[in-house]
C-alpha cells in the first residue's frame, strides 16, 4: 500500500515541527479497522446506493460509512464491481424441526440446527427468526453463538408453540416457556380446514396478555380474516401469514396501522403444499441444486410422494395463493410494514432458497425491488425487535452484508448473483459455504 499522507497533515506537521516533531501521523479514528472499498453500497435505508463510499468495520461492527480518502492505518478490502447490501433477514423461519423429509425427536440435534443456520447464511440470510417448534438444542445454539464470528445465521427463536386448553392455564404455560428465555411467543389459531378445534379468542387473549406481562412479543399463525382481526384486537405483535380466505378489509388495515403491526406473507409456504405434485421447475435451478440434498429431491419425485401434494389442503392453498399475494400488496400499499418471511424449515420448505423464491413472488405481486429489499432487511429486523443489532449498515450494528455481482434494485432475482456473505465482517465466498448435508 502506498503511503498517502493528506496534504493538510503535511502542512500541519511543518508548522508543528519546531514544537514536537512529526515522525509518524497520529492514528486515525479508523485505526485497526477494515475498509471495504469500491462497491456500490446500499445501507438498508430508504434511499438508493451511496456512490464513492467506503464501509468501515471494526470488531465486527459498522464503524462508519466514509467518503473521501481512506486513512493508511486501516486494512483495505477492494470489492470494486460489487453491490454491497445488508444481510437478508427471514422474519419467519424454523430451525432444527426437520432434516430432509424427516421430523420428530430422532432428528433433533445441535448439529442439525447449526447446519441449517449455515445453510441460511450460505444463501445470504444472515439472521433468522425461528417462530416455534424448535428442538431444545436450538436454544443452546442461540445461547452460545459467538456474536463476533457466528459463521452461521444469527438465531432468535420462540420455542414450543403454545396451545393451552383454556384461558385459565394460559399464564402458567407462558411462565413455563419463559425458562427457555424465548425471543418470541408463538400461537396457532387454525382449525386446519375444519379438522381440528381452533384456539378460542378468550384463550389466545390470555396467552397474549401473559406474554406481554413477561415482556415478550407474540406472533400469530392464522388463516382467516376474522381470526386476524380478532388477534389484532387482542394485541398480537405479528401476523405470521397472509390472510387466505377473504380480501383484507379496511378494519384489518386500520387495526394493523393503529398498532404498527407487521405481516410475514409466507407465500412460499402455500407453494410448498402443492408444488411437489409434479416435478417443480426450480429443481433445475443451479442456485437451488448447489445446496440441495439429491436424495431429498429424488424422494420428492416418487409417485407416492407426489400424490401427497394433491389433496384437499393442497387444493385449498393453491387456490388461496393469488389472494394471499393480493392481500400482501393491499396491506403494503396501505402503509403496513411487510417483513420478509417464508415459514421455511419444515420438510420440503428449503431454507435459504425459499427466501429467494419468496422475494421473487413479492416482485411478481407488484412490490418494487427496493421495497422488497427494505422488507428483507430493515423491516424484517425492526418488526422482529432486532433492529438495534442488524437490518441496516448503520454505525454500531453488526457488519452482516452481502456482495452481489448484479444490481438487485433492477430485479430482485439478482440477489441470486451472490458472490460473498459477510457475518460480523468475516467474508465467505458463496462457493465456499458448506452445504446442508455436510454434517454428521
Stretch that binds Zn ion, among 59-67, 107-115, 223-231, 335-343 (CB under 5 A): 335-343
66 vs 142, beta carbon nearer Zn ion: 142
The nearer residue to Zn ion, 114 or 133, going by C-beta atoms, is 133
Q: Give least dist CB 60 to Zn ion, A.
A: 30
What does the alpha-carbon distance between residue 181 and residue 36 come to, in Å, rounded to a whole number?
A: 36
Rounded to a whole number of angstroms, the minimum distance from the CB of residue 239 to Zn ion is 12
Distance, CA of 394 to CA of 388 (rounded, Å): 9
Return the residue matching grid coordinates 511543518: 14
Q: Between 49 and 316, whose beta carbon lies closer to Zn ion?
A: 316
Rounded to the nearest whole angstrom, what is the least distance from the CB of residue 210 to Zn ion in the complex?
21
In the complex with Zn ion, the residue whose CB is nearer, 183 or 343, is 343
Site string for Zn ion, 127-146 (x = CB under 5 A): ----x---------------
Candidates 11-19, 58-66, 339-347, 418-426: pick the segment binding Zn ion (CB under 5 A): 339-347
d(CA 411, CA 65): 25
- Cβ–Cβ under 8 Å, residues 112 and 155: no
- The answer to whether 156 touches 141, Cβ cutoff 8 Å, is no
Ramachandran category for residue 394: left, alpha or beta (phi over 0 → left; psi -120 to 50 → alpha): beta
* Percentages (nearest 5) of helix, strand, coil residues in the chain: 40, 20, 40
| Residue 129 bridge partners (DSSP) | 156
- Number of chain positions touching Zn ion (CB under 5 A): 2
Task: Enumerate helices (H) and strands (E) in the chain, giving the number of each.
Answer: 15, 18
343 is an interface residue for Zn ion by CB under 5 A: yes
**From the CB of 12, what's the least distance to Zn ion, in Å?**
60
- Name which of 189 and 393 has its Cβ closer to Zn ion: 189
Nearer to Zn ion, 55 or 199 (CB): 199
Name which of 357 and 404 has its Cβ closer to Zn ion.
357
- Pick the piece of the chain touching Zn ion (CB under 5 A) from 125-133, 171-179, 286-294, 356-364: 125-133
Nearest approach in angstroms of CB 320 to Zn ion is: 16
Question: Would you say 57 or 119 has its CB closer to Zn ion?
Answer: 119
185 alpha carbon, distance to own chain's centre: 17
Helix residue spans in 129-177 (DSSP H)? 136-144, 170-177
Q: How far apart are CA 263 and CA 332, in angstroms?
A: 9
Positions 222 through 251 that interact with Zn ion (CB under 5 A): none
DSSP state of 294: H
Candidates 114-122, 144-152, 154-162, 338-346; binding stretch for Zn ion (CB under 5 A): 338-346
Shortest Å, Cβ 131 to Zn ion: 5
Contact letters (x/-) for Zn ion, 146-165, by CB under 5 A? --------------------
How far apart are the C-alpha atoms of 38 and 65, rounded to whole Å? 12
Distance between the two ends of the chain, CA-based, in angstroms?
44
Q: How far apart are CA 364 and CA 346, in angstroms?
A: 24
Binding residues (CB under 5 A) for Zn ion: these are 131, 343
Amino acid at each position: 500500500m502506498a503511503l498517502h499522507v493528506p496534504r493538510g497533515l503535511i502542512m500541519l506537521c511543518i508548522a508543528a515541527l519546531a514544537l514536537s516533531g512529526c515522525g509518524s501521523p497520529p492514528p486515525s479514528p479508523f485505526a485497526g479497522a477494515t475498509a471495504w472499498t469500491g462497491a456500490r453500497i446500499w445501507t438498508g435505508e430508504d434511499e438508493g446506493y451511496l456512490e464513492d463510499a467506503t464501509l468501515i468495520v471494526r470488531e465486527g461492527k459498522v464503524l462508519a460509512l466514509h467518503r473521501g480518502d481512506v486513512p493508511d492505518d486501516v486494512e483495505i478490502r477492494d470489492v470494486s464491481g460489487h453491490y454491497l447490501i445488508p444481510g437478508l433477514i427471514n422474519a419467519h423461519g424454523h430451525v432444527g424441526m426437520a432434516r430432509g423429509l424427516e421430523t420428530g425427536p430422532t432428528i433433533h440435534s445441535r448439529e442439525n440446527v447449526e447446519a441449517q443456520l449455515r445453510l441460511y447464511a450460505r444463501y445470504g440470510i444472515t439472521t433468522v427468526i425461528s417462530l416455534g417448534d424448535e428442538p431444545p438444542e436450538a436454544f443452546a445454539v442461540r445461547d452460545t453463538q459467538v456474536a463476533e464470528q457466528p459463521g452461521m445465521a444469527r438465531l432468535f427463536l420462540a420455542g414450543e408453540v403454545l396451545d393451552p386448553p383454556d384461558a385459565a392455564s394460559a399464564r402458567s404455560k407462558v411462565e413455563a416457556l419463559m425458562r427457555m428465555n424465548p425471543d418470541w411467543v408463538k400461537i396457532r389459531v387454525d382449525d386446519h380446514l375444519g379438522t381440528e378445534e381452533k384456539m378460542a379468542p378468550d384463550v389466545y387473549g390470555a396467552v397474549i396478555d401473559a406474554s406481554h406481562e413477561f415482556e415478550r412479543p407474540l406472533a400469530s399463525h392464522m388463516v382467516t380474516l376474522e381470526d386476524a382481526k380478532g388477534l389484532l384486537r387482542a394485541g398480537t405483535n405479528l401476523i405470521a401469514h397472509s390472510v387466505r380466505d377473504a380480501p383484507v378489509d379496511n378494519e384489518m388495515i386500520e387495526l394493523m396501522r393503529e398498532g404498527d403491526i407487521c405481516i410475514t406473507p409466507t407465500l412460499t409456504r402455500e407453494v410448498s403444499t402443492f408444488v411437489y405434485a409434479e416435478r417443480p421447475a426450480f429443481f433445475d435451478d443451479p442456485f437451488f441444486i448447489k445446496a440441495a440434498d439429491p436424495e431429498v429431491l429424488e424422494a420428492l419425485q416418487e409417485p407416492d410422494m407426489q400424490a401427497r401434494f394433491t389433496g384437499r389442503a393442497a387444493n385449498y392453498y393453491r387456490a388461496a395463493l393469488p389472494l394471499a399475494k393480493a392481500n400482501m400488496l393491499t396491506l403494503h400499499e396501505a402503509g403496513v410494514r411487510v417483513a420478509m418471511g417464508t415459514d421455511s424449515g419444515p420438510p420440503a420448505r428449503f431454507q435459504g432458497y425459499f427466501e429467494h423464491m419468496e422475494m421473487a413472488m413479492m416482485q411478481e405481486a407488484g412490490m418494487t425491488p427496493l421495497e422488497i429489499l427494505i422488507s428483507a432487511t430493515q423491516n424484517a429486523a425492526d418488526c422482529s425487535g432486532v433492529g438495534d443489532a442488524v437490518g441496516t449498515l448503520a454505525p454500531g450494528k453488526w457488519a452482516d452484508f452481502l456482495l452481489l455481482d448484479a444490481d438487485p434494485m433492477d430485479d430482485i432475482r439478482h440477489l441470486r448473483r451472490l458472490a460473498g456473505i459477510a457475518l460480523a465482517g468475516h467474508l465467505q465466498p458463496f462457493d465456499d459455504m458448506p452445504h446442508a448435508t455436510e454434517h454428521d
